[in-house]
A and B are shown apart, each in its own frame.
Chain A
Amino acid sequence: MSGSEKSSDDFDLDALFDEARQASPVASSDLMQRISKDAALVQTKEEAVVAPTTSWLKRGFAALGGWPALGGLATAAVTGVYIGFMQPELVNFDANGVELSDFDEAEFFPGDALFFEEG
């Protein structure tokens, strides 16, 4: 609270501060009303935010997972379109998922079929 320290000077500033405090303006009723009105207005708005009314479309969208879910859906759709437009020969995998290269098989032992033949 207000200091009771005395000024190092030869007169008492604290007395002057007290005088200034006593002569301070009093808040008018008009100002108090303006402030109360603001308070009520802000309070009403905040309450409206606490209980919002949302449309069925927004509620449905939220139930599906909102924007993050939509992001995943969009990625899947784009991937599907990409695969659909690709030329079949460029997607060339065998049954085990190994990509097959487009080259001719080299025959190192041209007569190897002979080893498997009986007789």
Chain B
Amino acid sequence: MALDQIGETSDDALLVLYANGDPDAASELTARLVPRLLPFCNRMLRDLAEAEDIVQEAMLRLWKMAPDWVPGAAKPSTWVFRVASNLCTDRLRKRRGIGLDEIAEPVDEAPSAEERLLQAERLSALDHALDQLPERQRQAVVLRHIEGFSNPDIADVLEISVEAVESLTARGKRALASHLAGRKEELGL
């Protein structure tokens, strides 16, 4: 398929093209899905190397499943997020028992200015507050408010109803606000 056409092709159709041997379909799907998948996994695990491993594994499962893909049955994006979400959950379960203090803080590349320091502090506080949420609540909040997924898509990823997603995100957001409330002044919120 011509490269200018491939950009307009749906994820669904790209996966079918990939299964039929199209050499460009995989590159396009990778370019569409990975930039969204990586931040989600990184926010779940707070470890970039581990997040990259999970993303690679989730994408590998997508490639393997491509020949059996039923067009229209699901979205490749929600399918791969569901796989990644489950893989993240497995990793977190394995980590259970490790204290929060032992989990690496996000590395700040070059905090030169005061505002940059403050921003890093705010994001770190957000990550910490997210860590306090129950796992499903955290996944729903991140997918909804950071990754920008719609509620039906989150329902598809987490395999729950749209109402349950609404409840999870609302409760999650309230809990986040409550966790961050004490640091409002300090973080410049």
Contacts and interface: CB of A to CB of B under 8 A. Distances in A.
Interface of A: 1-3, 7-17, 19-21, 23-28, 31-32, 34-36, 38-40, 42-43, 46-47
Given A7-B173, A16-B122, A46 B67 contact: yes
B122 A38 contact: no
B19 interface: yes
B173 A13 contact: yes
Contacts of A12: 189
Contacts, number: 113
A16 B141 CA distance: 13
A25 B38 contact: yes
Interface residues of B, number: 46
A2 B59 contact: no
Contacts of A9: 177-178, 181
A42 B148 CA distance: 31
A41 B79 CA distance: 21
B144 to A, nearest CB: 7
Contacts of B144: 2-3
